[in-house]
Structure 1
């Protein structure tokens, strides 16, 4: 399997003076995700650009976010593809998720190859996300995060960003308990992939959608778009916080699902855009 980072010789120019040195780049390769249903041929869910590593968790997070599975029991297994037509290199870029029964939701085959930030990922409306959330197991979000606790999460996330330290080119996403204890942190060249890897890891460990994830917060290293909040909502997360700005659609989805949303969390500062039933700026 390809390493998550790679060395490269570069020339750094400072005040007109060149200096040759070695740098590291974050690896970016495609991952094709297939879904195997008992008694039927495998179907392709899509292709996303990602940093190699934790590929099974990424696949698990994506099938959960898409509503293909409702929980861990729907997944019979995940493995790299053994298709004889694939080259050795391609074999580690194709993952098959085997379902224990029929998929919870059908999908249209799609390609996410254009960008490592995969966009809406097949969901094109707030109503459709809300439908996914209500059809999944108990999604109570009893914990209301305090702004001071949310403001501290990006610094905690930063201490776990090993690939970013080496390359400066990796996003990160982490799930945290209200006391600041880290559940999992994952890095990837794509923000959405990092979220899927963190959520997928927790799903495969059996600690998601079973009541033990109550009150978790998702912290992301970038801006907070609709897709990020969508993935958090389907996973039953209570709060989403990032170092960047949220979008209008992300805020509306938090209003709709009762999630806490905070942005610009850095240096002890944080802006709260939604907090359960008490959304700032709304009557």
Structure 2
């Protein structure tokens, strides 16, 4: 399926190198507004709404299918020089796009030039948000006229939304009003959430030899030293950089350091 696009330029030039931003679970392309605008000063930059997030409302949450969505959208735009940057779930999808065999394999390999993965490793792991997804999908909202009131309501009703930063981030998916509703497909996210924790270890994966940057938060445990052996096998041309003062939400917690390391890697 073709994905909705957030364009940080006035128009898209297919010939230019293009940095494509892929968000995490419960996110949407608009979450990258600050860093997207920063990147767009030096490189053409787009963000996608991944399936069941933002304006993309359909389809099961399946890592390979979501990677295929990204590939098909890039080919539809006729982009010729692509760098994928994915955070968390978006990082796993970006890695899948690099390693899985696509039905557009020959064309895709030619235009996919580099990979950036933010605070996630190519391994299966548990996420603490599955129960939260179920609770969010079942929430019955009163009239909520602002995102702030929606954030406060989520913080009160959903214990897994541990603090105001998380509840406000979740509230960005809610359309407030007299009859608030989720803009994303929260019910499908809750149903398929376990798929997002998997990694196709039993499948025959290719190796991605093009430049690859892994960014990790110094206060996060999502990308550990023990996963480096797997990374080196699948992505032999890799570099790991650490943003010491950041947790899992690198681009939100330390946007300047995040942008600086990406620009250094891309030499822009």
Same fold, TM-score > 0.5, yes or no: no
Identify, as 1 or 2, the structure richer in helix: 2
Identify, as 1 or 2, the structure richer in strand: 1
TM-score by length of 1: 0.24
TM-score by length of 2: 0.25
Computing the radius of gyration from Cα coordinates, the structure with the larger value is: 1
